[in-house]
C-alpha cells in the first residue's frame, strides 16, 4: 500500500507541459474585442479538464475512504487554434500558430494579430480524496499545484463536490442515477483567476465489478486574465462559451483498487484515465 501511495504522489507532481506566453501582446490588442477570442482557449481547456472524471466510481455499500489520481488529456484541435477576424480570414489563438497574421500590410489600415504558442495538447494530473457512501451520498476533494512553462506563472487548483444516488429510491440496485454539485477555484500565477461550478447528472449500470455510465453536465464559470501589457494592466474575460458537457465512462473495481476512464465528446474533447486505492 505504501508503494502505491508513493506512486500516486510521484505521478501527481509532474509538470504541466503547456507554454502560455503573452510577452508579445500589445495593450491595444488586449483591450480590443478580439482579445477574448484569442485567450478563450485557456478558459475552455481548464474547465474541460477540471470537470472530467467527476465521480467516476459507483457508490459502494458501507463507508470508504480512498485516495486517487486523475490524469486528463486535452487535444487542441484546429477549431481552438484560430478564430475568424474577417470573412474567410483566421487569426491564431494563444494555442495556435506561431506565425502572426497581418491584414492590409503596408497600408494605413494595416492590422496585426499576435502569434500563438503552438500547443497541441494539455495534460493535467489531479490528486483526489474520496469519502462515501453515507446515506447514498459521496464526497470528494482535490488540490493540485503544477508548474507551467511561459510567463504567466504556476497553476494552482482546489475544490470538491457532493453527489447523491437518487436512483436508490425507485430503480433496481444495478441501475444508478446520480446528481452532483461541484465547485473548483483555479489560478495561474497572479494573472488568471477562476471560479468553476458544475452541475452533473449520471445514469449507468453496474454489473459485478464493471460499470458503465453516461453523463450530462452544465458549467458555470467565472474566469478572467489580468496582466500588464506594455506596462498597462488589462483584464480579459475568459468565461467558457460552451457550458454543456456530455460523454461516458467506465469503472472497474477490485477489493482495494479501482480503475476508470471517461471520454467527454463535446468540444473541447477530453480523455481521462485514473485509479484510486483505499478501504
DSSP alpha helices (H): ranges in 31-141? 34-50, 78-81
* % pLDDT > 70, the chain: 91
State the pLDDT confidence band at 149, using cuts at 50, 70 and 90.
Answer: low
Total domains in the chain come to: 1
Yes or no: say if 152 and 191 are a contact pair by the CB < 8 Å rule: yes
204-255 pLDDT, tens digit per residue, is: 999 888 999 999 999 998 999 888 888 889 999 888 777 899 999 999 988 8
CATH value at residue 241: 2.40.128
pLDDT digits (tens, 9 = 90+) for 44-58: 888 888 888 899 888
**Domain limits at 208?**
2-278
Q: 123, 125, 98: which is closest to 113 by C-alpha?
A: 98
Enumerate the H helices of 105-197 as residue ranges.
none
Amino acid at each position: 500500500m505504501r508503494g502505491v501511495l508513493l506512486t500516486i504522489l510521484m505521478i501527481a507532481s509532474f509538470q504541466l507541459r503547456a507554454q502560455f506566453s503573452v510577452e508579445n501582446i500589445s495593450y491595444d490588442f488586449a483591450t480590443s474585442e478580439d482579445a477574448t477570442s484569442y485567450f478563450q482557449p485557456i478558459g475552455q481547456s481548464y474547465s474541460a479538464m477540471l470537470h472530467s472524471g467527476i465521480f467516476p466510481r459507483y457508490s459502494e455499500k458501507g463507508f470508504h475512504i480512498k485516495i486517487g489520481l486523475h490524469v486528463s488529456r486535452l487535444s487542441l484541435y484546429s477549431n481552438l487554434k484560430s478564430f475568424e477576424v474577417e470573412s474567410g480570414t483566421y487569426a491564431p489563438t494563444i494555442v495556435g500558430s506561431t506565425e502572426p497574421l497581418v491584414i492590409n500590410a503596408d497600408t494605413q489600415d494595416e492590422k496585426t494579430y499576435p502569434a500563438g504558442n503552438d500547443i497541441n495538447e494539455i495534460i493535467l494530473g489531479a490528486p483526489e480524496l474520496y469519502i462515501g457512501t453515507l446515506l447514498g451520498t459521496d464526497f470528494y476533494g482535490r488540490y493540485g499545484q503544477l508548474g507551467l512553462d511561459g510567463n504567466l506563472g504556476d497553476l494552482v487548483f482546489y475544490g470538491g463536490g457532493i453527489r447523491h444516488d437518487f436512483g436508490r429510491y425507485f430503480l433496481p440496485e444495478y441501475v444508478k442515477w446520480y446528481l452532483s454539485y461541484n465547485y473548483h477555484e483555479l489560478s495561474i500565477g497572479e494573472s488568471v483567476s477562476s471560479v468553476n461550478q458544475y452541475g452533473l447528472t449520471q445514469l449507468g449500470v453496474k454489473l459485478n465489478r464493471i460499470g458503465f455510465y453516461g453523463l450530462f453536465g452544465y458549467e458555470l464559470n467565472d474566469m478572467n486574465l489580468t496582466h500588464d501589457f506594455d506596462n498597462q494592466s488589462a483584464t480579459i474575460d475568459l468565461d467558457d462559451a460552451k457550458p454543456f458537457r456530455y460523454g461516458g465512462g467506465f469503472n472497474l473495481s477490485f477489493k482495494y483498487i479501482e480503475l476508470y476512464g471517461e471520454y467527454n465528446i463535446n468540444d473541447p474533447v477530453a480523455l481521462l484515465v485514473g485509479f484510486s486505492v483505499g478501504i
